[in-house]
Amino acid sequence: MTGRAHVRHLLKVSDLEPQEILDIFELTEKVRRDPEDYGERLSRKTVGLLFEKASTRTRLSFESGVHQMGGDTVFMGGDSQLSRGETIEDTARVMSGYLDLIVIRTFGHDRIERFAQKSGIPVINGLTDGHHPCQALSDFSFVLKETGKVRGIRMAYIGDGNNMAHSLMEAAALLGVHLVVSTPSGYAPEAEILRWSKEMARKTGGSVEWMTDPKEAAKEARVLYTDVWTSMGQEAESTIREQAFFGYQINREVLSIADPDAIVLHCLPAYRGKEITEEILEGPRSRVFEQAENRLHLQKALMLYCKGKG
């Protein structure tokens, strides 16, 4: 896990070692099983949430998690001095004097990297344009809980090569998962993240591949995963994207190609009839809302881990 001096930050999944991820997963299950044992772990601690993007699950899960562990939160949206031109570096130095940990949800990944360089407190990435590590870690924690394994499992991600794809690729590579990412040719994941993930996966016994054929990707997959076609900040491209992603949908046909026991995941929000059908989202193979609930437990564990209270 990267950090300044002895401060633990989580900016992307590849900041972690495989054993660190497994330690966080183990702590997640302890927190889930015995929440009362962790009810005072953040007593008299204040966690800041600096969110420059809209949020439902990330904000609620972090705020609820902090309060359930005896701490307080301070939420800052678009009303901070950042909106008036204060530098991210100055903001980091000031906030480090007031808070004990901060969760940031912003646009360019460079912003959170610059913040972390000047921060004297742990920084957790609640989402950037490049990475969504909390979601990916929570998802693989959930897969482990749901199926009893993560190493060697086959997963297909069908959709956009976005921040979600990037974080899933990094996590899969570190955990020995066999992941196939399927996107239209003009929407592939970043080449460097794909290269790193392929190389790491070879070391852990997994594999990370990219292809354009979603049906080929779905073959024998134990986990089918999708995300929105148009991410925050891309709304002007929505019409073009809907045309490009036609066919990149988790539906009855795609599910029939997967493993007979396949489960379906989606990081939400979902747009029924686009990246996933209503039938599948609300069907017996969907674990989407249980997946969302898992964010609370994983993020409680992650905050404790960053604070050295695991």
How far is Cα of residue 193 from the mean position of the Cα atoms in its chain?
15
Taking a C-beta distance cutoff of 8 angstroms, is the pair 159, 183 a contact?
A: yes
Residues 6+ apart with CB under 8 A from 106: 50, 51, 52, 53, 112, 127, 128
135, 249, 291, 299: the active-site residue:
135
User: In angstroms, rounded to a whole number, what is the distance separating the alpha carbons of residues 50 and 58?
Assistant: 12
Does the active-site annotation cover 109? no
Structure-block tokens of residue 98? 């007031």
267, 287, 291, 299: the active-site residue:
267
129, 295, 297, 299: the active-site residue:
295
Nearest Cα residue to 135 out of 52, 217, 35, 226: 226
User: In angstroms, rounded to a whole number, what is the distance separating the alpha carbons of residues 264 and 261?
Assistant: 10
227, 241, 287, 299: the active-site residue:
227
How big is the CA angle at 27 (ends 22 and 33), to the nearest 5 degrees?
Answer: 130
- Kindly tell me the number of DSSP H helices and DSSP E strands found in the chain: 12, 9
Does the active-site annotation cover 241? no
8, 32, 41, 105: the active-site residue:
105
Single-letter amino acid, residue 95? M
Does the active-site annotation cover 4? no
Does the active-site annotation cover 105? yes
Taking a C-beta distance cutoff of 8 angstroms, is the pair 292, 266 a contact?
A: no
Show which residues are catalytic.
105, 132, 135, 227, 267, 295
